[in-house]
Structure 1
Amino acid sequence: MGAGGRASVPPAQMNSGTEIVRRSPAEQPPFTVGQIKKAVPPHCFNRSVARSFSYVLYDLTIAFSLYYVATHYFHLLPRPLSFLAWPIYWAILGCVLTGVWVIAHECGHHAFSNYQWLDDSVGFVLHSSLLVPYFSWKYSHRRHHSNTGSLERDEVFVPKKKSGLSWYSKYLNNPPGRVLSLAVTLTLGWPLYLALNVSGRPYDRFACHYDPHGPIYTERERLQIYLSDAGVLAVSYGLYRLALANGLAWVVCVYGVPLLVVNGFLVLITFLQHTHPALPHYDSSEWDWLKGALATVDRDYGILNKVFHNITDTHVAHHLFSTMPHYHAMEATKAIKPVLGEYYQFDGTPIFKAMWRETKECIYVESDEGAEKKGVFWYKNKLSFD
């Protein structure tokens, strides 16, 4: 791949099943962040309150329209059609609310407007409504952007070295085991990360996004963690009252299942952005910010690229310029690709195929045998039962 495609005779290559995957260069890039930024049209860094709110209004209008149709008309459908209508509602609303989640994520990056208070207000409301502790995630995600690709300091989907694998890993390295792993990851991965820091970086004591005094946060951030918890508790209480009024099944059908879709997409998108046989990871002897920021990959989700506000196919640009609003990211991506050259990674593999391949191929990271630079690690999958 590299520079946006597959290559038949790459200079540095590895087998990924039957495919030959071109690795991203792991050397220090021959360009600087300043040179990349100069290639981007200046207007791409402009944030418009009106335009940003137009996406919020658009997404929420669709979401409430779907809710209205479901709650006012689905019960009028004959039973076979109602059984079909609800899954369609769950899938479409889950995708639309993932777009809402992305806008809240932009607020956390100060990419929504020029006003930090406005970004935090909008992000807090939108994320809390999806049971996300806004400030808690904002701060841990900011550290992810500051340490992407670092085996010691990155915050999420930090790959393990072979010596750090759990004892049961080799028993899951088969089709049924991969199905089980994916099912658990897509359904429970997000709440487990928030509550128990599963897949996150190791800390010297228990880490939890709901704990204001946990090791993830600094002293000056703790008050906002309390506020994040209060937001999630307020929405949870609202859902409790709705369950008392309308029944638990109603809340699950109208809100719960779409939220599971949102959480599943969130985990899948993040996983595929940072997990690929072509992507290097670094220890402290080789890592720097630019190399880490480039150790990401853009993906193609088809029509969902637009629904998800292009967080899927402009992720490289997002890691380079996280305060850039999403509606300029496609233009910026086209502008920086000639500068990045082989350092730009795009994979157009269909998402379900990519999900299965990465689960199969990317089990742990290890330096190449005989490699000159031992601080560069690549995904591998050879496990034995010895």
Structure 2
Amino acid sequence: MTLSFVKPQDSGTTLEVSSNFRLRDILRTLPKEVFLKNRRKAWTSVVINVLLVCLGYASIAFSPWFLLPFAWIFTGTALTGFFVIGHDCGHRSFANRRWVNDLLGHAMMLPLIYPFHSWRLLHNHHHAHTNKMDEDNAWQPLKPEFYDSLNLLGQWVYQLVRGRFWWVGSIGHWALLHFNWNRFEGKKREQVRFSVLLVLGFAAIVFPTLIATTGIWGFVKFWLMPWMVYHFWMSTFTLVHHTYADIPFKPEAEWNEAMAQLAGSVHCDYPSWVEFLCHDINVHIPHHVSTAIPSYNLRLAHRSIKENWGEYVREYTFSWSLMKQITDECHLYDPEKCYESFGNHHAKEK
């Protein structure tokens, strides 16, 4: 049995692979050093990131009003770096000791009000079922029949987050999925409860203190606006990582793990300052091939994947035209064309 996939960046060509193609076939081609943890590199990234976030907050405090947007963008992007370090901790690729990963992961995600354990568990589910229809929990397109069953408000909200307001999509994901510990069982439920109560306790102390000392405007200036920039990057990274007009979501019977991680993941080049502040999270294909690869080894792993599996590799450059194409076309699930736009769907309904 073979599986067919559209060749990246060449919509007229398809690639066929055996259904027996496995991730281990890709892993065997990677150099061993990409899996090695480097304590100096890991902790240096933490120290630099903390200093940059402090610099960002100082710039917010002392900037005149007309420079505040630049200070917010810088600080929010640096806070995204906090999340990426927590992301490595969640995958246990930051440190060898689990308690170190858990402690640092919670510390990095606290300012973002993100419960570490619930994110870790849900994100691992995304990795286990990447681009598998009805299972993946990251930007899975709605099926047309489900979309039609929504009321007008539900359809309008979905149109917003799949359209020009994609940048608020991760806020809904954060709010709706990460604070309900009852969706987990056993030890996982206790871990999630701890993380949720920790961030709620943090917010209950920090937010009133911030408002009492700086006023409502201080809350908006020092926390809300950088947090919104962080969610802009979260939404953008996660949408672009697995979304393009010819990247399929497959039903379980047709899904192949290796092809989903290799050809269903996207490498996107961003401005170098964004990549630096966000610890190369944009180098995404090797991360999906193996979550054990630390962020500082992703570029080496990507070069190896390009050398050995280049025909499957998708590489794009972040731009308005890229986001416009994704938000204009990639709306509803279509088993044959991958995606159907809202316009085409509503035209058929008339």
Deviation at 1:365, TM superposition (A): 2.2
Are the equivalent residues in 2 in contact too, given 1:26–1:280 (CA < 8 A)? no
Give me the TM-score of the superposition, normalised by structure 1.
Answer: 0.80
CA separation of 1:283 and 1:63: change in aligned 2, threshold 3 A: same
CA separation of 1:178 and 1:229: change in aligned 2, threshold 3 A: closer
Residues of 1 paired with 2:29 and 2:252: CA distance? 30
CA separation of 1:298 and 1:169: change in aligned 2, threshold 3 A: farther
Deviation at 1:33, TM superposition (A): 2.5
Answering whether residue 336 of structure 2 is matched by residue 379 of structure 1, we say no
Deviation at 1:332, TM superposition (A): 0.4
The SS at the match of 1:128 is helix
Residues of 1 paired with 2:41 and 2:27: CA distance? 23
CA separation of 1:99 and 1:151: change in aligned 2, threshold 3 A: same
Answering whether residue 315 of structure 2 is matched by residue 346 of structure 1, we say yes
CA separation of 1:29 and 1:172: change in aligned 2, threshold 3 A: same
Match for 1:224 among 180, 188, 191? 191
CA separation of 1:212 and 1:167: change in aligned 2, threshold 3 A: closer
Q: Which amino acid aligns with 1:226?
A: R
The SS at the match of 2:131 is coil
Are the equivalent residues in 2 in contact too, given 1:128–1:228 (CA < 8 A)? no
CA separation of 1:178 and 1:225: change in aligned 2, threshold 3 A: closer
Are the equivalent residues in 1 in contact too, given 2:250–2:335 (CA < 8 A)? no
Residues of 1 paired with 2:109 and 2:221: CA distance? 20
Are the equivalent residues in 1 in contact too, given 2:280–2:298 (CA < 8 A)? yes
Q: CA RMSD in A?
A: 2.8
Answering whether residue 76 of structure 2 is matched by residue 94 of structure 1, we say yes
Are the equivalent residues in 2 in contact too, given 1:144–1:154 (CA < 8 A)? yes
Deviation at 1:167, TM superposition (A): 6.4
After the TM superposition, list the runs of 4 or more consecutive aligned residues in structure 1 that deviate by more than 4 angstroms: 167-173, 177-184
Q: Which amino acid aligns with 2:172?
A: L
Counterpart residue number, 2:203: 236
Residues of 1 paired with 2:323 and 2:19: CA distance? 29
Counterpart residue number, 1:291: 259
1:99-114 alignment to 2 at 5 Å?
99-114=81-96
CA distances 1:87-126 after superposition (whole Å, capped 9, x unpaired): 1100111111111111111110111111111111100111
Residues of 2 paired with 1:169 and 1:351: CA distance? 33
The SS at the match of 1:119 is helix
Are the equivalent residues in 1 in contact too, given 2:141–2:332 (CA < 8 A)? yes
CA separation of 1:265 and 1:219: change in aligned 2, threshold 3 A: same
Aligned length: 338
Q: Which amino acid aligns with 1:195?
A: A
Q: Which amino acid aligns with 1:192?
A: G
Give the fraction of aligned pairs with identical amino acids, expressed as a percent: 23
Give me the TM-score of the superposition, normalised by structure 2.
Answer: 0.88
Residues of 1 paired with 2:192 and 2:131: CA distance? 26
The SS at the match of 2:291 is coil
Counterpart residue number, 1:164: 146
Answering whether residue 170 of structure 2 is matched by residue 190 of structure 1, we say yes
Counterpart residue number, 1:315: 284
CA separation of 1:191 and 1:66: change in aligned 2, threshold 3 A: closer
Match for 1:67 among 47, 51, 57? 57
Counterpart residue number, 1:263: 231
Residues of 1 paired with 2:97 and 2:146: CA distance? 43
Are the equivalent residues in 1 in contact too, given 2:164–2:327 (CA < 8 A)? no
Residues of 2 paired with 1:155 and 1:302: CA distance? 28
1:16-35 alignment to 2 at 5 Å?
25=15, 27-28=17-18, 32-35=22-25
Are the equivalent residues in 2 in contact too, given 1:96–1:307 (CA < 8 A)? yes
**Structure 1: which 5+ residue stretches go unaligned?**
13-24, 75-81, 197-207, 369-376
Match for 1:42 among 32, 54, 59? 32
Are the equivalent residues in 2 in contact too, given 1:102–1:309 (CA < 8 A)? yes
CA distances 1:180-217 after superposition (whole Å, capped 9, x unpaired): 85454423x22321332xxxxxxxxxxx4212112xx2
Counterpart residue number, 2:101: 119
Residues of 1 paired with 2:309 and 2:151: CA distance? 36
Q: Which amino acid aligns with 1:378?
A: C
Residues of 2 paired with 1:180 and 1:156: CA distance? 13
**Structure 2: which 5+ residue stretches go unaligned?**
1-5
CA separation of 1:195 and 1:178: change in aligned 2, threshold 3 A: closer
CA distances 1:4-46 after superposition (whole Å, capped 9, x unpaired): x744x8324xxxxxxxxxxxx4644785423322322211101
The SS at the match of 1:282 is coil
Deviation at 1:242, TM superposition (A): 1.8
CA separation of 1:280 and 1:28: change in aligned 2, threshold 3 A: farther
Counterpart residue number, 2:249: 281
Residues of 1 paired with 2:75 and 2:16: CA distance? 40
Residues of 2 paired with 1:171 and 1:275: CA distance? 24
Counterpart residue number, 1:19: none
Counterpart residue number, 1:55: 45
Match for 2:275 among 302, 305, 308? 305
CA separation of 1:26 and 1:59: change in aligned 2, threshold 3 A: farther
Are the equivalent residues in 1 in contact too, given 2:37–2:95 (CA < 8 A)? yes
Match for 1:356 among 324, 338, 346? 324
